[in-house]
Amino acid sequence: MTNSISPILPIDLSDGLFLSPKIAREIGESFSADYCFSEPYPHIIFDNFLPQPLIDEILKNFPNENSSANDVVFKSGYGGHNKRQIHPISCSARVRMFFDFFNSPPFLQFLEGLTTIPAIIPDPYFSGGGFHEISEGGKLGIHADFRINEQLNLNRRLNVLIYLNPNWNIEYGGNLEIWDSGMSNMVKSIAPILNRCVIFSTDEKSFHGHPDPLTTTDGITRKSLALYYYTASTKIYEELPLHSTMYKARPTDPSSITAEAKKLNLHNYKRDWLPPAVLNPRLLLPPTIFRALKKILKLVK
């Protein structure tokens, strides 16, 4: 874990969030060894990641509850519960400028220098990204994230999480847990305190989550800013399974949670073993007949 009086990224608010790509890359490279050699998979934790005035402004502009029809609310138990996902398009112009910076060349150069991953690509659609907010009782089971962005045909490589929780009480829970690939050992438990940034590589073994229900009170929520990054591959579907998110239960979880996690993964195994036409019947039928059948089924309902 890194600590510094100065922010890790010295972004200048008065200069349009300007940061030289060259300087940004050098900052990333200075922490590269810490990132690349972390266990159980490459990751790093930065405290005091952004200048305090910037993080204060981001928190001040965090959208109010139920502020937009674009919000996505998850109430799926182990697969995500009492979680609100807020797309940047729902935010103010000032906040959208912050998100633009995280998709800009300086930040990409910082990530490339840090991770040694070349040609990192941001997601202009912020699929799954933006602001995240979890309220009392909320949780997110231990999981390894989806590997392919099917909209863009890109290989997901990195998660960047920036926490926005001042005066966070450890009794609330909500720590990000990092687990080894065999789910036998929780390697780290990371409190989601204000201006703490966690960056980690995403692959089939990068299991993480916060599976214990949040115990906040008085309307306090767990806030974060989530960003995902990719690389391109012309053979992506040959190199990787077309998996969605894979969930894992902890050794101490009750059997009901284990069963729920296995149920959530069932669709992935179907995609591995069943022919595409079985999962998608429209592949067997001419488009006109398929559309006609859909209309008939709607009438029957």
Q: Where are the domains of the chain?
A: 13-241, 254-301
278 Cβ partners below 8 Å, 6+ apart?
none
Q: Which of 1-10, 99-108, 218-227, 243-252 has the lowest mean pLDDT?
A: 1-10
Give the tokens for residue 30. 């200075």
pLDDT of residue 38 exceeding 70, the answer is: yes
Using left for φ > 0, alpha for ψ between -120 and 50, and beta otherwise, residue 59 falls in alpha
In the block, tokens 């729902």 appear at 90
pLDDT-derived band at 143, boundaries 50, 70, 90: very high
CA separation for the pair 31, 80 (Å, rounded): 32
* DSSP state string for 236-249: HHHHS-----EE--
Give buried/exposed letters for 118-150 (b at 16+ CB in 10 A, else e): eebbbbeebbbbbbbbbbbebbbbbbbbbbbbe
Q: What is the pLDDT of the chain when averaged over all its residues? A: 87
pLDDT of residue 94 exceeding 70, the answer is: yes
Mean pLDDT of 149-159: 90
pLDDT of residue 50 exceeding 70, the answer is: yes
Share of the chain above pLDDT 90, in %: 60
CATH topology of domain 13-241: Jelly Rolls (2.60.120)
Give the tokens for residue 81. 């519960």
pLDDT-derived band at 296, boundaries 50, 70, 90: confident
| Coil/strand/helix, residue 252 | coil
CA separation for the pair 246, 200 (Å, rounded): 17
CA separation for the pair 119, 12 (Å, rounded): 25
- For residue range 4-24, list pLDDT tens digits in order: 578 999 988 777 778 899 999
Torsion over CA: 249, 251, 254, 258 (sign): positive
pLDDT-derived band at 148, boundaries 50, 70, 90: confident
- For residue range 256-291, list pLDDT tens digits in order: 999 999 988 887 777 666 666 565 665 566 666 666
Q: Which of 4-8, 162-166, 232-236 has the lowest mean pLDDT?
A: 232-236
Mean pLDDT of 129-153: 90
pLDDT of residue 268: 74
pLDDT of residue 123 exceeding 70, the answer is: yes
* Pair 116, 157: CB distance under 8 Å: no
DSSP bridge partners of 273: none
CA separation for the pair 228, 234 (Å, rounded): 20
Higher pLDDT, 194 or 90: 194
Higher pLDDT, 235 or 46: 46
pLDDT of residue 294: 67
Q: Which of 80-94, 182-196, 219-233 has the lowest mean pLDDT?
A: 80-94
pLDDT of residue 157: 95
